[in-house]
A and B are shown apart, each in its own frame.
Chain A
Amino acid sequence: MKEIAIDVTGLTKRFGDRTVVHDLSMQVPKGEIFGFLGPNGSGKTTTIRLLCGLLTPDSGEGMCLGFDILKEQERIKSHVGYMTQRFSLYTDLSIRENLEFVARVYGLSDPRAAARGAIDRLGLSGRSEQLAGELSGGWKQRLALGACILPNPQLLLLDEPTAGVDPKARREFWDEIHALAAEGITVLVSTHYMDEAERCHELGYIAYGDLLARGTAQQIIDQSGLSTWIVSGEGLHQLARDLRSRPGVDMVAPFGAELHVAGRDRSALDATIEAAKRASSSHHWMRGEPSLEDVFILLMDSAKDNFS
């Protein structure tokens, strides 16, 4: 059986009277890529900060890389690479200077050589003297990842690492993540992109501080018990409005020239669709497979907002 890299139970964090993470328990085996999904403000960033010692939980306990997250925060920091949501390298330092700084803080024996090696791996050899602030979004993100893995961490915590990055750069980023996981590095990554979620070994869906679902992408789809219809044709906007309040319909969402209509109560949904078919012949109806996105939007709609 695999070792467990992250093993926490009952983590709770409150800011004032608002509970941001509520009784969260999770286990992530070594070498696994665990995807963290959930709407904005759902507690993903807070959870990641709890794991790397940037925040102290109000209650709960657990181990991270075999260290107690309450008592051994300083030791955890040496073995964790944390990539913040916002670019947090020094924009007024060059690429090389940023990497050398990281290498020195982590006490690498030859910081210059380590930085040079990282620059070569990143494919930034010709640009090592460029200021980090001048890089494009995609390069900034590669550099940030490079800085994270420079001290050879055992665990990577990536907070929406690919936000605002083009598809090709994202694809390359994920190839790199998989290569790192294959070497035995555990990765916890938060994202809003469904294609990225599908590339994770396991997913956790968190909404308003609660971990609502977890498992592989397929498991989460299966667990949801969702059935989906895809409809195309004219006047879809009006149709969507009509369908929303009908029995059995939990979610209606436009996808380009199509409309996804999904519900958990299969017989009620089918009855509604039959009625709609009879009412108008200008639409083409087709049974579809529920996507991960359908499931997440449904989860999001059914979770209670903790702001109100």
Chain B
Amino acid sequence: MRAPTYSRPAVRQPDAGFLRRTWAMIVKEFVQMRRDRMTFATMITIPVLQLVLFGFAINTDPKQLPTALLLRDDGPLTRAVLAAMKNSDYFRFTRQVRDPAMLDAMLRSGEALFAVEVPASFERDVRRGDRPALLVIADATDPVATGTAVSALQGLTDSALRRDLRGPDEKVAARPPPFEIALQQRYNPEGETRFNIVPGLLGIVLTMTMMMFTALAVTREIERGTMESLLAMPIRPVEIMIGKIAPFVLVGFVQMSIILSAAYFVFGVPIVGSLGLLIVLTTLFAAANLAVGYTFSTIAQNQLQAVQLTFFFFLPNILLSGFMFPFRGMPEWAQWLGEFLPLTHFLRIVRGIMLKGNGFTDMEVDVLALVIFVVAAMGIALVRFRRTLD
């Protein structure tokens, strides 16, 4: 006997159509979004924070640039010229030195972007109408940072001494200008923007990739459930950390080789300083980013949060480190924030070595900062790393 055909169930009323099913999905996504508090918080706070931060910090017409001063002559005319420079709002005399070697050192370390040298017998030569030259050295590694200030200098020679050259000196005030400015564009005399950008890119690429690699390191183990058996094994947190970071130092090394080769052969960026020192310090920088990423990994509860933390950290790295906008053009508080980013220090190092030919002693502070970064990030990571599932 043939079994009777199965009597199909009636169509459910109302029919679960396109809108209902889509709505079901939407409701579920909202519930999940709400449950992940940290993601929810970052969605709201990060845009606000970044808008405020970067809106006030970024300045494409950098002013108040730190300027070192070497006075070989002093008098009313010298003071008038310096006052005119100061009043242009582009120059801020931060330090007066006695030795030209000191000027060079300040430019190399990035402590000053400009150096002004007033020659001996400047006053006398001006009054005689000999049109002496005031030496201005600009750190041209970042043409954008010094460009507008340099243009401002041009008009200075005409106007600076107009009020001071009266009476018997009035004849020298007439054209041509009573003194000249000998401008020396140091380190990047052609003002090639890519000389500044390409070494910076080395830092950007390393920051992004290195941090992302390790940011997922711990959260991935937790999400996949492998952390439980890993913790049950006789392996210590510091061993897990070093084991997870070390392979990526090698990856960073490969990335560095590619970027440096391209910089030198394709973009024609010079490597004035020691290549060996550059490699060592770049590796240190890669380690700093790996350590920061690993720390994020111990803070985040899942991989999504780890990625969000990385981006949260990455954006100020681009905007406040001096990669995209001149560091010295930012307000002081923003510069202080920038000092807490490893990229800021690395940019000084990489541009310093490649363009200025800096040696270790010119960059001690930045190297020390990177070392502190590595140690502090690893320390936090070890404290944060949970040995148990408590």
Contact = CB atoms under 8 A, between A and B. Distances in A.
Interface of A: 49, 52-56, 74, 77-78, 80, 82, 84, 86-91, 102, 105-107
Interface stretch (B125-133, B232-240, B289-297): B232-240
Given A74-B234, A77-B233, 16 more contacts: A53-B232, A55-B388, A56-B388, A56-B390, A74-B236, A77-B234, A80-B232, A84-B225, A84-B228, A84-B229, A84-B232, A88-B227, A88-B229, A102-B233, A106-B233, A106-B234
A88 B390 CA distance: 18
Top-4 shortest CB links A-B: A88-B229, A82-B232, A77-B234, A78-B234
B163 interface: no
Contacts of A56: 388, 390
B224 interface: yes
Interface string B49-62: 00000000000000
Nearest to A75: B234
Interface of B: 224-236, 388-390
Contact of B232 (A54, A86, A91): A54
B229 A53 contact: no
B390 A77 contact: no
Given A53-B388, A55-B390, A89 B232 contact: no
Which of A49, A54, A102, A106 counts the most chain B CB atoms within 10 A?
A54
Nearest to B224: A91
Contacts of A78: 234
B225 A86 contact: yes
Which of B226, B231, B233, B388 counts the most chain A CB atoms within 10 A?
B233
A70 B80 CA distance: 77
B389 A77 contact: no
Contacts of B228: 54, 84, 86, 88
B179 to A, nearest CB: 71
Contact of A89 (B226, B231, B236, B388): B226
Given A74-B234, A105-B235, A89 B390 contact: no
A66 B227 CA distance: 26
A222 B230 CA distance: 42
A106 B390 CA distance: 24
Contacts of B226: 88-90
A102 to B, nearest CB: 7
B388 A88 contact: no
Contacts of A55: 388-390
Given A53-B388, A54-B388, A55-B390, A88 B225 contact: yes
Contacts of A74: 234, 236
Given A54-B388, A55-B388, A105 B225 contact: no
Contacts of B229: 82, 84, 88-89
Contacts of A84: 225, 228-229, 232
A54 B233 contact: no
B390 to A, nearest CB: 6
A107 B234 CA distance: 9
Nearest to A144: B229
B232 A105 contact: no
B11 to A, nearest CB: 30
B232 A77 contact: yes
A105 B233 contact: yes
Contacts of B389: 49, 54-55
A64 to B, nearest CB: 13
A82 B230 CA distance: 10
8 contacts: A49-B389, A53-B388, A54-B228, A80-B232, A84-B225, A84-B228, A88-B226, A105-B233
Contacts of B235: 105
B224 A105 contact: no
A87 B234 contact: no
Which of B226, B232, B389 counts the most chain A CB atoms within 10 A?
B232
Contacts of A91: 224
A231 B234 CA distance: 55
Contacts of A54: 228, 231-232, 388-389
A90 B232 CA distance: 15
Contacts of B236: 74
Contacts of B390: 55-56
Contacts of B224: 88, 90-91
A54 B224 CA distance: 17
Contacts of A77: 232-234
Contacts of A102: 233
A56 B231 CA distance: 13
A53 B235 CA distance: 13
Contacts of A88: 224-230
A279 B106 CA distance: 107
Contacts of B231: 54
A106 B224 CA distance: 22
B246 to A, nearest CB: 15
A6 to B, nearest CB: 16
Nearest to A83: B229
A49 B233 CA distance: 12
Nearest to B235: A105
B387 to A, nearest CB: 8
Nearest to A87: B225
